[in-house]
Structure 1
Amino acid sequence: MKPACFLKPILSVLLLLPALLMKAQVIDSVLLKLESQYPQEKIHLQFDKGAYNPGETIWLKAYLMSGHLLSGISKNVYTELVNGNGQVLQKKVSPVLMSGAAAAFDLPADLKDSVVFVRAYTRWMLNFDTAFLYVKAIPILSATPAQPATAKQVSSPQYFLELFPEGGDLVQDVPSRIAFKATDKRGWPVAFSGDLLTGKGAKIESFSSTHNGMGFFNLTPKAGETYKITWKDPSGKQQQVMVPAARPNGIVLELNHTSGGIQFNIKRKDGVPSPLPVVQVIAQTQQQLIYRAKVNLTKSALVTAVIPTEGVPAGIVQVTIFSEDNKPLAERIIFLNNQDYYFITDLNVPLKGLDKRDRNVIQVDVPDTIPCNLSMSITDADINPAQPGENDIYSQILLASDIKGYVHNPGYYFSSEADTVAQHLDLVMMTNGWRRFRWEDAIAGKFPVIKHLPEDYLTMEGSVTGLTKSELVNQEITGIINLKNGSQQFLTIPVQQDGKFYVPGMIFYDTAKLYYQFSNDKNKLLTTKALIDVKNNLLVKGPAFSVSPKWTPSFNPLDPLAQKKNQLMVEKNRALLDEQRKVQTLAGVTVVAKQKSKAEKMDEQYASGFFKGQEGYTFITEDDPFANGSMSILNYLQGKVPGLQITGAGTQMSLSWRGGTPVLYVNEMQGDVNMIQNTPMTDVAMIKVFRPPFFGAPGGGSGGAIAVYTKKGAALNDNVKGLDFASIPGYVPEKQFYSPDYMKYETEHKQTDNRTTLYWNPFIITDKNTRRILYTVYNNDISKRLRIVIEGVNADGKLTRIEKIIE
């Protein structure tokens, strides 16, 4: 991975001597190795709601980032639904497309927990500290309030006060800032006020917290003196905490925001020779070096300079002071907010309807031409109210995912550009550590042990046993993959000398069957002799989950009217489910359904996953007299799709659509022009052409996609008769969100509509040709205020979030 373009020329306060230059290069090489070989991923989840009832569905969208950019490392996201005892109830694996992945969890109707958890991670993330995995605590509204079973009660102490000398250490006779944080047993903030005393009890000053139990005070520790804090916790108990002892010599690091950058002050004891004549200042963000300087401490007890930050992306910056022999002496993190992390998404409602089953038109506009990947939820605003300071895509990606400790209401720190909010965020920086790696370990060459390689989509992994090494030389397996929807794909799979074989980068749902035999094995002698084991590459079991008290959900209780409304809707939905179960047990019931078109029937029969439905063009060859008369598939498509350019002849044909090249598929397995052109038209049942972008394609399919489906039936099934086969699990089919169209007559419209989530769309894709999208959403039978939330990313790694209330 190349260094990002934002890196500025590195400033040196003094000229680097050759010996120091060599040592400084050690730090450079460490960061380069961390950035290129150990890049970090982080995840944000957008949920349709902040709280749920038993029996409801949790809809979620995952966004995967690496540093300041979309992640290209992992192709799968693992999400888990965990109960209050830490037991994994459900697990989903979702393919990542344009840094996004969707999943859904159905909560058990008999769920008793008052809190459930959703954990999300990639396989690559498991190589590093699991404290950075995404975890979200979700309240269950209609459950009996109770603490999670593993959130054990702690008898004493109930409240804590932590002290954090800026930079790490206090030094005798050197002025220092000491940050503090007062919390309860869950790690949640509590208001604080206390006194700073000498060891003998003489009062120096009184001070109190300024935000969420945090604040700081100044102290110049004296030689031979000790200090303590006395305070009365919220229960009325008098408590005492000792201030960390000061070192007789050393340095103190102080950071402040200033115009054009970050000002650092390096202080030492005045009036005595400096024990550290020269130190190095290193600043890095997301494992990328942004500043290095050599500082001479012999002439002054205070050295001040500014780290220029123009062009440096918003996020946490780590500033570390090193000795000449690369030993870290002091460290502090600071948040840099250059207001460059977001892009604007416009949300308008040209048609508003809040009566029963009324029609709403939602208009989404992205002014930029850069491809964007968004998700949108529309919910009952009374039952799903906004929570002050709730975590969102800004606070999760830029702050919470990079902080190992707990951050309370992180969304608050991105709610305003006011100086007070920035000052409060700096308190978070002073009271937390950013420790994705330890300098001491990295400089000593102790890097993470990589147990999990970057994961592709589904990889078919196989092994051949029972054959000799000579029989495996230049051996290939001829295979036919049968998907659940009846689609087939022919494969030629090379076998390695050790008997292993792989087919990477597959996306299919449910279970596929691989029919196989060795190539040129006419009598099946080798195939019969060999034992072939085939499986997929997905992680079977994630790391152990231990419930932490700090994950108690930060969710303000609903007001009595909203709670009553929620309970009413829950009871109606339960009654509706009970009625449906009764109807399902009746015999001789005649169901009248609308007649489906041939294209709809074919789509149900052949298509799956991202290929199912979707807007585009569908061609059924059976109904088209020109199909059998066409020389090839691409010849047949010429001139049939507006904007799709097909030129050339035979296997030399080229395709272009909106400046991109359509991705080609045969039976939902990615292919090329040769494969498409060599598929006879007489074998083709259906062709689907998807407008750009097609999100089922790698990279978001900026040129759209063409999916060819070959005919099912005896003719094709003859190809697999007599062959051995192996079953390969695929992705779990995605659950589709149901949004009724009350302009059409449907039998189910007679039922009461008590949906609390009226609309959920995890994939809204825009590009330079599609910058405005309109959605029609119908109200339910009871909601009077609707809450719309949109979050997302663009191809440049910028973030967006917008929220609106319709009332």
Structure 2
Amino acid sequence: MSKKLITLLAISAIYCLNAQTNAEEALKTFEKKYPQEKIHLLLDKSNYIAGETLWFKSFVFDGYTTSAISTTLFVELYDSNKNQISKKLIPLINGEGSGNVALPSSLKEDVYYIRAYTSWMANFNEDFQILKPVAVYNPSSPEKLTSNPTPWTVSAYPESGTFIDGINTKVAVRLQSNGTAPSDWEGYVTEIDNPDTKITTFKGFDQNIGSFNIIPKSGKRYQLIVQDKNGQKQNISLPEVSASGINLQVSSDKDHVKYTIKSKNLAPDYQYYTVLGTINNQLVYKAKINKINNETQYSISNSQLVNGILQLTVFDDKENVVSNRLVFVQPQLLQFKQPSLQSVLLKDTPRGKNSFELPKDTNYSNYSVLVLDASTQSPEEDQSLLSSLWLTGDITSPIISPAQYFTKNRNTEALDALLMSEKWKRFEWKSIMTGNYPMIKYQPESYLSYKGKVNIQGKPAPNTEVNLIFGSEPGSRMSQIKSDNNGFLTLNNLVFEDTMKFFYQLNSEPKDLNNNYSIYFQPTSNFVPYKKNIPPSPYKLIPRPADDKPSNEVSRSFTALNAQKIIRENITNIEEIKLKGEVKNKTKKLNDELSSPGFKSLNEQIFDFVNDSPLTTSSNVLKWLQGRVAGLTIQMQGGSYKATMRGGQVGIYLDEMLVDPSHVDNMSTSDIAMVKVIKGFFAGGFGGANGAIAIYSRRGTSSNRTASSKLRQISLQGYDKETPFENPDYGNDNFKSITQDTRSVLYWSSFLETQPNESSKVQFYNNDDTKKFRVIIMGYDKNNDTPLYYNEILP
């Protein structure tokens, strides 16, 4: 959290407020040593058919900011029997990652589950990981999905957990269901001994929650009766009325969080009470109250707080928890940015060309953009970026459509009642105050690491120097490492996709070895098995009738799948024609001579200083690059220039050796043969997740590269490569062979890179019948720790 929040108020006659309690010390330890990550997973669709590709974008947060803890995301696909169908390893750049999962055409119709987590998250409760159900349809499957009406259950939660004689108490009523809970329901309260007289009545806010107020009386027993519009009814007893205790009552408006502590028949030996307020496991409020006054209301200003769940806890003078309550800070004013779309040109004509622009904003390195046919269900309707960030990322119990609590028409009273029915599960006060902290088994690592072992004549070889040459051919890039006392060696901080070949050779090879040596490598971080059972879904499988016809949505998806195959084939053909038509010009030849395979990328921009002789008005090559490469920023820092891309620092390489930027400050352009800017991952960079600026001097080329016949080859498995999302270009005649276009996803970009000097443009073609477009845009302002979120139907 960017705003480091401290004690705000001193209430009543407070003494020694600066003395830390055991609870504060325990919380400080937990916050420092056990930060908590959470994930939002954006899918391109809400449901799929077998044979389609599922695309996803992930945001990993540390509290309310993008996480710098983890650099790798694990994504898995399970069936309803917890059999793993697929797994993906995704790199995280500033907490963001993306990828795709190909759904086999043979996949039977059922509900499948996408699991997403980091190694660090695997140390904690699995309930905080993403386990997202996704329906996959297949008309050729012998069984079909249908809704699964199941009985709902009801529970009652008096505010702060106490039900005390004579104190007007708010009670939250929570519905739970494995199927579909009713949205239209109501309830009333009676005495058990007098069931015909209704004390109070209420209507449910939504499918999750409702609330009512009651003044309980000692000796009375109360019951709650809830009924939906279909006549299903449940009757439960309310808690027994206590003759004494403390009731914490809380409200939240746009300016303050206000609370009142009410009591009845407290023992006279209590000297004082302490109130602690925490957000994201961080202490944000502390007060010491010597005497409880039932009429006194205390106020916490929102000016130094952020949107999120505030946990207020009341301790007695022996540091026992006597009351606890969760409340959302400032639900009336959500702190997120919404972009203003420019140059909007949207047409509802069949296959019409559409476009809009996002204004230039240096606070964002990229956007995630999804455009859908507005008549289809949006993946953000149920679980949105805002609901993941502010609610479900920290709440483990199932919530139906949590996104509803952060829309324009949100019901803040419903959100408050919902949090009344929840407990903070990130930690328990009693547990951390007794020193019972989580056991850490998995440490976060910087991108990919591999542990190897050197064997000579079948035995470990300690303190042995090994030459490693990276690339797809010998002589690409050499690095020397040495094994430890047990013969082990480690490769750290690698960023590459698919597989990377490298060659190895002992630095000093005795003649009597006869090449009788070997090196083995394995990754140090692995997928962690899911221990819990797969949760029940709101669907069930039934035998498919012989005359069963697919729904209109499924039929449209199959038509779109066939069209997508044609789109893919045409794009492939167009690219092949382009490649065949390329002339191997001088710059390409220079690049082939100077660049090793590890420093080649499909996403690179080359500046040829040999053949093109670009005019330079600056004596510094880094400064000269400013403004010439989209997304690249060059800034002076500490007396030297610093390069960043997508908010992350870019490595500077001189003849493919990583150097400090100061090494090229005074390099003459007459000594430079070529400058290459690589965007994104490349095999030759250790930790080159943000790309590289590779500067090549006017040196020899192939003469400096020799291959040894003694070199041995081995391959490492890297991150899973994302398949490009392909859109038709109806301005090209090749796509006219598509007879019917029923795509529901009209545009998808998980990383729409921002431009330093111009707006970011989105272009796409309509399908055959879409009339309105749902546009979803996400981003994160890392300077102000503020999400950017746009979810609107246009026009």
Q: 2:95 aligns with which of 86, 90, 99?
A: 99
- State the SS of the aligned residue for 2:109: coil
Partner of 2:273: 279
Matched, 1:395 2:387: yes
Partner of 2:765: 778
Cα distance, 1:665 vs structure 2: 4.6
Matched, 1:207 2:201: yes
For residues 709 and 458 of structure 1, the distance between their equivalents in structure 2, rounded to whole angstroms, comes to 30
For residues 329 and 622 of structure 2, the distance between their equivalents in structure 1, rounded to whole angstroms, comes to 52
What does 1:157-172 align with in structure 2 at a 5 Å threshold?
158-172=151-165
Whether contact under 8 Å (1:666, 1:710) holds in the other structure is: no
For residues 48 and 608 of structure 1, the distance between their equivalents in structure 2, rounded to whole angstroms, comes to 34
**CA distance 1:322–1:476, change in 2 (3 Å):** farther
Q: What per-residue deviation string (whole Å, max 9, x for no partner) do you get for residues 695-717 of structure 1?
A: x997985x973476999999788
**What is the root-mean-square deviation of aligned Cα atoms in Å?**
4.7
Cα distance, 1:743 vs structure 2: 4.2
For residues 579 and 527 of structure 2, the distance between their equivalents in structure 1, rounded to whole angstroms, comes to 41
The residue identity in structure 1 corresponding to 2:345 is L
Q: 2:213 aligns with which of 214, 218, 235?
A: 218
Matched, 1:364 2:358: yes
User: TM-score, with normalisation over the residues of structure 1?
Assistant: 0.81
Identity of aligned residues (%): 24
Whether contact under 8 Å (2:155, 2:175) holds in the other structure is: yes
Matched, 1:493 2:481: yes
Matched, 1:56 2:52: yes
Q: 1:596 aligns with which of 556, 560, 582?
A: 582
**CA distance 1:734–1:721, change in 2 (3 Å):** farther
For residues 75 and 789 of structure 1, the distance between their equivalents in structure 2, rounded to whole angstroms, comes to 25
Q: 1:263 aligns with which of 255, 258, 262?
A: 258
For residues 711 and 153 of structure 1, the distance between their equivalents in structure 2, rounded to whole angstroms, comes to 73
Cα distance, 1:123 vs structure 2: 1.0
User: TM-score, with normalisation over the residues of structure 2?
Assistant: 0.82
**CA distance 1:381–1:684, change in 2 (3 Å):** farther
Q: 2:468 aligns with which of 465, 475, 479?
A: 479
Q: What per-residue deviation string (whole Å, max 9, x for no partner) do you get for residues 106-148 of structure 1?
A: 1222332243322211111111111011122223356579787
**CA distance 1:477–1:653, change in 2 (3 Å):** farther
- State the SS of the aligned residue for 1:363: strand
Q: What per-residue deviation string (whole Å, max 9, x for no partner) do you get for residues 541-577 of structure 1?
A: 4324633235669xxxxxxx99637614614644885
The residue identity in structure 2 corresponding to 1:255 is V
Which sits farther off after the overlay, 591-600 or 721-730? 591-600
The residue identity in structure 2 corresponding to 1:543 is Y
Partner of 2:748: 760
Cα distance, 1:62 vs structure 2: 0.6
For residues 445 and 73 of structure 1, the distance between their equivalents in structure 2, rounded to whole angstroms, comes to 24
Q: 2:722 aligns with which of 734, 738, 741?
A: 734
The residue identity in structure 1 corresponding to 2:449 is T
Cα distance, 1:426 vs structure 2: 0.7
What does 1:359-758 align with in structure 2 at a 5 Å threshold?
359-366=353-360, 368-382=361-375, 384-386=376-378, 389-416=381-408, 421-464=411-454, 472-473=462-463, 475-483=464-472, 488-519=476-507, 521-523=508-510, 531-544=518-531, 546-549=533-536, 564=552, 567-568=555-556, 570-571=558-559, 573-574=561-562, 595-598=581-584, 612-614=601-603, 617-619=605-607, 624=611, 655=641, 662-665=650-653, 672=660, 687-689=675-677, 705-706=693-694, 718-744=706-732, 747=734, 750-752=737-739, 754=741, 755-758=743-746
The residue identity in structure 2 corresponding to 1:459 is S
Partner of 1:801: 789
Cα distance, 1:263 vs structure 2: 1.2
For residues 373 and 364 of structure 2, the distance between their equivalents in structure 1, rounded to whole angstroms, comes to 30
Whether contact under 8 Å (2:453, 2:488) holds in the other structure is: yes
Partner of 2:779: 792
* Count of residue pairs brought into register by the alignment: 761
Whether contact under 8 Å (1:515, 1:725) holds in the other structure is: yes
Cα distance, 1:445 vs structure 2: 0.6
Partner of 1:558: none
Unaligned runs of 5+ in 2: 541-548
Whether contact under 8 Å (1:374, 1:791) holds in the other structure is: yes
Matched, 1:325 2:311: no
Unaligned runs of 5+ in 1: 554-560, 585-589
Matched, 1:47 2:34: no
For residues 519 and 774 of structure 2, the distance between their equivalents in structure 1, rounded to whole angstroms, comes to 54
Whether contact under 8 Å (2:368, 2:778) holds in the other structure is: yes
For residues 395 and 216 of structure 1, the distance between their equivalents in structure 2, rounded to whole angstroms, comes to 21
Whether contact under 8 Å (1:137, 1:551) holds in the other structure is: no
Partner of 1:112: 108
For residues 178 and 185 of structure 1, the distance between their equivalents in structure 2, rounded to whole angstroms, comes to 23
Matched, 1:315 2:302: no
The residue identity in structure 2 corresponding to 1:331 is N
- State the SS of the aligned residue for 1:63: strand
Whether contact under 8 Å (1:458, 1:504) holds in the other structure is: yes
Partner of 2:286: 292
Q: What per-residue deviation string (whole Å, max 9, x for no partner) do you get for residues 435-464 of structure 1?
A: 111111011110110111012211122233
Matched, 1:140 2:136: yes
For residues 714 and 611 of structure 1, the distance between their equivalents in structure 2, rounded to whole angstroms, comes to 16
**CA distance 1:363–1:527, change in 2 (3 Å):** farther
**CA distance 1:344–1:190, change in 2 (3 Å):** closer
Matched, 1:75 2:71: yes
**CA distance 1:462–1:365, change in 2 (3 Å):** same
Q: What per-residue deviation string (whole Å, max 9, x for no partner) do you get for residues 140-178 of structure 1?
A: 3565797879x9997xxx221101111112233433222
The residue identity in structure 2 corresponding to 1:316 is I
For residues 717 and 764 of structure 1, the distance between their equivalents in structure 2, rounded to whole angstroms, comes to 38
For residues 344 and 231 of structure 1, the distance between their equivalents in structure 2, rounded to whole angstroms, comes to 40
Matched, 1:334 2:334: no
- State the SS of the aligned residue for 2:438: coil
Q: What per-residue deviation string (whole Å, max 9, x for no partner) do you get for residues 334-365 of structure 1?
A: 01127363123122354334444432222112
Partner of 2:239: 244
Cα distance, 1:532 vs structure 2: 3.0
For residues 328 and 577 of structure 2, the distance between their equivalents in structure 1, rounded to whole angstroms, comes to 61
Cα distance, 1:294 vs structure 2: 0.9
Cα distance, 1:184 vs structure 2: 3.1
Whether contact under 8 Å (1:393, 1:800) holds in the other structure is: no
Whether contact under 8 Å (1:97, 1:699) holds in the other structure is: no
For residues 358 and 529 of structure 1, the distance between their equivalents in structure 2, rounded to whole angstroms, comes to 66
**CA distance 1:387–1:189, change in 2 (3 Å):** farther
For residues 261 and 651 of structure 2, the distance between their equivalents in structure 1, rounded to whole angstroms, comes to 57
Q: What per-residue deviation string (whole Å, max 9, x for no partner) do you get for residues 699-754 of structure 1?
A: 985x9734769999997884353123432111122211223444456x56644473
Partner of 2:125: 129
Whether contact under 8 Å (1:268, 1:274) holds in the other structure is: no
